[in-house]
Chains A and B, each alone.
Chain A
């Protein structure tokens, strides 16, 4: 298992797209910092960028990586190895690389600019954790999509569709629902809406630190207690874990039944 993991990690690291991805984060973070000279400002901008980008890149890399290593996986199948081992290791290499890219691209420059000394440290940590979590979740989903559909074009377009849904359309639908049902109590609906979308959850965790607290007075009682109290954060974390666990389980099921 370790060997496969190491091999797939090296395979990823050898790809120049990973470097371009990392370099993009590096350049953005550094140039934002040079422009504003203000850690909290950089963090706000980087939140917007990473929350949109990590799921997209996770999905794209995930699908293409699976298609590229299909022959390798098939070759491994002929060895006395469990299917679960093969799939989780190949996927693991991808996930580790993606997380490393974010950590190096966003984390390193911020550390260099002294984020540890400022009060924005907690936002910084949440941002990094959530960026990694989103990479993990969405590359896993991409893996599942690619395993399900052998046709590359189809797999890729479905991945992009998933990104569009979670990153943009979902919020639009939620906003529409809120507007349509504005005469009713909406607390439960909004909490449900947040918990069902990992990108929204990541965003909420960060803006809870940033500015939602200032707007608390304007939200309903249930919602503000949800956002303010620890059990709200607990629920979000639980939901994120579910978002990782469920795809993992289906990876296992799909992997065991996959017919090449």
Chain B
């Protein structure tokens, strides 16, 4: 293996020796990107020195590396699309893109990648672009360390930060995305990895999956979006160690699951969301070791959820722990820690001896009459909840944790 790496390294050094670096600036040999690009071959590097370049509809189909020195900005000349990558092996680094305006006919983007593979977009900045990075049938690419800041005001006339459509094997890592419609949007994107991104203040979703399978997102932070993450019509999505924080608004969820199957939600932290997880028609999902802290609702199940397992989670000081709108079949809720649990543990095995019923009557009422939120924590509601707990009439008898943990799961 070492030998292979060595020979790859050797080959690379040979290539880089052959490759040419061309600088572009007003006083350099090449005054514009086009001049430099026209004489470049595969493997060459074009280095944009600091300054603003008014460009539009650039098409790159040679495997070049485009590097922006500090302050190098590509500004859309008339607000259209800036750069389209139509060839394999293109690297873009450190450039700033700005001035792509909203267009109701075309989805103009700062960088569009069309039917290419092995691309890298790193450490770029996108200021107020309609779409920032638009991936279209792209494969094996990396989008890393970019700063994507939009100025979206309304959902209808704003675009997505990173938009991926029919892609495969992408890595979207360490980006900061704010002020767009969706921070990251995946449609028909498989086998991809999304990690360590910070997506905040987006109008609709921080991260959005549609019809995408076998993807992972790990260690991201979603803050103050309309909805933190929406996963819809997708299979085998792995969600791990993410942080969902303060997603509230009119239909505000930390995580929205709709028609998804075989997913795992592990070790995430949901804090201060209106609804931490909203689930609709999702089967075989594993919830494990998540922390739900001070949310309005921790989990809200709508109809048609089967064979989910909710095990070893911490439910800490949520206003209401759970709501189940329809009957749940074959779901496992066991060994969670509920801060509202008032049972005892006489045999000292760390598990409570009486079951915990997470669906309270008031949670039921609030679902019907949202205004009744003003009666939260009132003595009357406590009494009614208690009475309901002793002899359930309205709340489902079959949703309970038979052995709740006495101490927080670490």
* Contact yes or no, A204 B380, CB < 8 A: no
Contact of A220 (CB < 8 Å), options: B252, B339, B370, B382: B370
Known: A168-B380, A171-B379. A217 touches B248 (CB 8 A): yes
Given A40-B317, A217-B249, A217-B274, A212–B380 Cβ distance below 8 Å? no
Residue A212 contacts which of B365, B368, B373 (CB distance < 8 angstroms)? Answer: B373
**One of A24-32, A179-187, A240-248 contacting the partner:** A179-187
Stretch of A2-10, A45-53, A65-73, A98-106 at the chain-chain interface: A45-53
Q: Is A237 interfacial (CB 8 A cutoff)?
A: no
Q: Does B212 make an interface contact (CB < 8 A)? A: no
Q: Check B319 for interface membership: any CB of A closer than 8 A.
A: yes
- How many chain B residues touch A (CB < 8 A): the figure is 33
> Which residues in A have their C-beta under 8 angstroms from that of B250?
217
Q: Are B374 and A190 in contact (CB under 8 A)?
A: yes
- CB neighbours of A203 from chain B (8 A): 377-378
- With an 8 Å Cβ cutoff, the count of chain A residues facing the other chain is 40
Complex contacts, B249 vs chain A, CB 8 Å: 217
Interface mask (A173-212 → B, CB under 8 Å = 1, otherwise 0): 0110011001000110110011000001001100100111
CA distance A186 to B370 in the complex (A): 9
B156 within 8 A of A: no
Q: Does A219 contact B (CB under 8 A)?
A: yes
- Say yes or no for B376: interface residue by CB 8 A criterion: yes
Contact pick for B365, options A170, A179, A216, CB 8 Å = A179
Per-position 1/0 for B6-30, Cβ under 8 A of A: 0000000000000000000000000
Contact A172 B376 (CB under 8 A): no
Contact of A215 among B274, B369, B380 (CB under 8 A): B274
- Given A40-B317, A171-B380, A220-B370: A214 touches B295 (CB 8 Å cut-off): yes
Contact call A200/B378, Cβ cutoff below 8 A: yes
| A171 close to B378 (CB less than 8 A) | yes
Do B378 and A217 touch across chains, with their CB atoms under 8 A apart?
A: no
B296 near A207: Cβ-Cβ < 8 Å: no
Say whether A212 contacts B376, CB under 8 Å: yes
Contact B317 A41 (CB under 8 A): yes
Q: Assuming A40-B317, A214-B296, A216-B248, is B369 touching A186 (CB within 8 A)?
A: yes
Instruction: Contact check, A215 vs B319: say whether CB atoms are below 8 A apart.
Output: yes
- Cβ-based interface call for B180 (8 A): no
Residue of B252, B294, B374, B379 near A204 (CB, 8 A) is B374
Quote the shortest CB–CB distance from B283 to chain A (angstroms): 26
Question: Which residue of the partner chain A has the closest CB to B339?
Answer: A41
Contacts of A41 in B (CB 8 A): 317, 339
Q: Which residues of B contact A213 (CB under 8 A)?
A: 248
On chain B, the residues within 8 Å of A123 by CB distance are: none
A144 at the interface (CB under 8 A from B): no
Q: CA separation between A120 and B383, bound complex, in Å?
A: 27
Whether, in the assembled complex, B401 has its beta carbon less than 8 Å from a beta carbon of chain A, the answer is no
Give CA–CA (A182, B274) in the complex, Å.
21
A48 touches B379 (CB 8 A): yes
Q: Which residue of B lies closest to A183 (CB)?
A: B369
A148 → B minimal CB distance (Å): 26
In the bound complex, how far is the Cα of B294 from the Cα of A210, in angstroms? 9
Complex formed: what's the CA distance from A213 to B273 in Å?
A: 9
- Chain A stretch 211-243: residues in CB contact (< 8 A) with chain B: 211-220, 223
Q: Within 8 Å CB of B251, what residues of A?
A: 217
Closest B residue, CB atoms, query A191: B374
Contact of B369 with A182 in the complex, beta carbons under 8 Å: yes
Asked if B370 and A219 sit within 8 Å, CB to CB, the answer is yes
Which residues from chain B contact A182 at a C-beta distance below 8 Å?
Answer: 368-369
Instruction: Give A152 to B272 CA distance when docked, in angstroms.
Output: 50
Report the bound CA distance from A41 to B293 in whole Å: 13
Q: When the two chains form their complex, are residues B379 and A211 in contact, meaning their CB atoms are under 8 A apart?
A: no
From residue A238, how far is it (CB to closest CB) to chain B in Å?
Answer: 18
> Which A residues are in CB contact (< 8 Å) with B370?
218-220
Tell yes or no: B407 within 8 A of A by CB: no
Contact B379 A178 (CB under 8 A): no
A194 to B275, CA, bound (A): 24
Residues of chain A lying within 8 A (CB to CB) of residue B369: 178-179, 182, 186
B375 within 8 A of A: yes
In the bound complex, CA of A41 to CA of B316 (Å): 10
Contact B373 A215 (CB under 8 A): yes
Is A211 a contact partner of B296 (Cβ separation < 8 A)? yes
Q: A171-B378, A171-B381 are in contact. Are A214 and B294 (CB under 8 A)?
A: yes
Per the bound structure, the CA–CA distance linking A217 and B272 in Å amounts to: 12
Given A182-B368, A217-B250, A167 contacting B379 (CB threshold 8 A): yes
24 A-B pairs (CB sep. < 8 Å): A44-B377, A47-B377, A48-B377, A48-B382, A167-B379, A167-B380, A169-B380, A171-B379, A175-B375, A178-B369, A182-B368, A186-B371, A200-B378, A204-B374, A207-B376, A212-B374, A214-B295, A214-B296, A215-B296, A215-B366, A217-B296, A218-B274, A218-B296, A218-B366
| A-B complex: 5 closest residue pairs judged by Cβ atoms | A171-B380, A215-B296, A214-B296, A217-B274, A211-B319
Interface residues of B (CB under 8 A from A): 248-252, 272-275, 294-296, 317, 319, 339, 365-366, 368-383
User: 8 extra interchain contacts, Cβ-Cβ under 8 A, other than A187-B371, A203-B377, A214-B294?
Assistant: A174-B375, A175-B372, A186-B369, A190-B374, A212-B373, A214-B295, A215-B296, A218-B366
